[in-house]
Amino acid sequence: MSKGPINPDQIMVGNDPVLAGHRDDYDSLGRHLSRRGISIDDITAQLAAFSLAIPSWGLGRGGTRFAKFAMPGEPTNIHEKLEDAAIVQQLCCITPRVSPHFPWDRVDDFVGLREAATSMGLEFDAVNSNTFQDQKDQAHSYQYGSLSAQDKGVRDQAIAHNIECIAAGTLLGSQALTVWVADGTNFPGQQDLSRSLDRYIDAAAEVYAALPTDWRMLLEHKLFEPAFYSSVISDWGSSALAAQELGPKAQCLVDLGHHAPNVNIEQIVARLHRLGKLGGFHFNDSKYGDDDLDSGSINPHQLFLVFNELIEAQNNPRTGFNPAYMIDQSHNVTDPIESMLSSAEAIAAAYTKAMLVDRAALHEAQACNDVMAAFQSLRLAYRTDVTPILAEARYKAGGALMPLNAYRSIEWRLLKERHRKSVGLGAGIV
């Protein structure tokens, strides 16, 4: 039974009215899958072992470059964010870790923060550094770059910050550092494009040298924004090149929104796995660019195809397969807890559908160039409604059969509005 702010009995009481209907749906799907040679209980057990991290920054309202609209009961510090994360985990049971971001989540007592998380049934995932914003009393500005900056003083400051993040993460029980830099240019000729990459790799190597033995360094690429002419780590190739030069503990992180429109992200997954550099995922969705929309809200089929490649990688681990999975979204108009619950379900559904693919039939069709048979083996899995499997996995873990309904029934925001400080108007996403 998961720990957290909600009384577990309250979750079970909410499940009672829909339990009989769920049993009927689960048994019916089980009979259907059995005719396809699939054990529904085996799939449910595999799903129960799957988990995601929640970003601390995603538990508050996001925004655009133009405005941020606060909501009542929104968390104002990392301890309140942990409370909200615990609610998500209690209800959906596949988000047991929180990924913190520094300096936003800096505290005086990291050991105490870890103990507070443990008391709510949570652990900490990868820690994230911030060299894309200037902080109060900061000696050097990141206006023209951080790890790749022309000024050595700026680079040294960025290196020191990342090493501080590693130290904090060690106290929190983390085993990975995610590095995303906003470095790049907005005008042709602004910087030498080759030398800027050299400076990045040299500076990143100093951070890499500070990693504990059992840690990983996850390099995140981004096509554009805020650097609109060129980004230093702009694509998976640049990220893979840097990771290869840094060493075996450096891997690539794939954010689903950080690509040009219509790029084949699932192929990128396969390529990075082939190189032994597939380190992790930030799940979200995109319509136009780096939109950070809720996972599966725009293109759930792409999410399924990504997981199809992840299952292939899992079955053929080559040099190893242990990706860090995290939701990474900006919730501009929704309650972040509701969006997290919705996204966790969409991601779990894509993963479960990918497990239903008849791999033997798929590989046989590929081997004999039977294009339609190969396509239909994927389509059959994608068309399957796996909702009963997701609900059963949650129920067995002590979660809610209908998480969103359960969350709304406790009126969490109304309760927190009475006890949390009000978040003021914001000028932008952070």
Question: Mind listing the pLDDT tens digit for each residue in 91-125?
Answer: 999 999 999 999 999 999 999 999 999 999 999 99
Beta bridge partners of 54: 98
Cβ 181 vs Cβ 219: under 8 Å:
no
Q: What is the mean pLDDT of residues 62-68?
A: 80
Q: What is the mean pLDDT of residues 292-315?
A: 97
Q: What is the mean pLDDT of residues 70-92?
A: 96
Question: Mind listing the pLDDT tens digit for each residue in 151-197?
Answer: 999 999 999 999 999 999 999 999 999 999 999 999 999 999 999 99
The span from the first CA to the last CA of the chain, in angstroms, equals: 35
Which segment of 4-8, 94-98, 210-214, 369-373 scores lowest on mean pLDDT?
A: 4-8
Cα three-residue angle 179-180-183, rounded to 5 degrees:
125
Sign of CA dihedral 270, 275, 281, 284: negative
Q: What is the mean pLDDT of residues 5-14?
A: 96
Crossing angle between the packed helical segments 265-274 and 300-315, to the nearest 10 degrees:
20
CA separation for the pair 264, 255 (Å, rounded): 13
Question: Mind listing the pLDDT tens digit for each residue in 274-299?
Answer: 999 999 999 999 999 999 999 999 99
Looking up tokens 């799939």 gives 43
196's CB contacts (< 8 A; 6+ apart) are 145, 148, 183, 184, 185, 232
Q: Measured over all CA atoms, what is the biggest interatomic distance in the chain, rounded to whole angstroms? A: 67
CA separation for the pair 184, 232 (Å, rounded): 5
In this predicted structure, what is the pLDDT of residue 2?
63
Q: What is the mean pLDDT of residues 23-45?
A: 98
In this predicted structure, what is the pLDDT of residue 427?
52
| DSSP letter (8 states) at residue 326 | E
Looking at the predicted structure, is the pLDDT value of residue 430 above 50? no
Burial of 399 (0-12, 13-18, 19+ CB in 10 A): buried
Query: To the nearest whole number, what is the mean pLDDT of the chain?
Result: 96
Q: b/e per residue, 92-121, with b = 16+ CB within 10 A? A: bbbbbbbbbbbebbebeebeebbebbeebb
In this predicted structure, what is the pLDDT of residue 50?
98
Beta bridge partners of 179: 219
Q: What is the mean pLDDT of residues 353-366?
A: 98
Burial of 130 (0-12, 13-18, 19+ CB in 10 A): buried
Looking up tokens 């089980």 gives 30
Cβ 429 vs Cβ 332: under 8 Å:
no
CA separation for the pair 55, 414 (Å, rounded): 23
CA separation for the pair 115, 102 (Å, rounded): 19
pTM of the full structure:
0.96
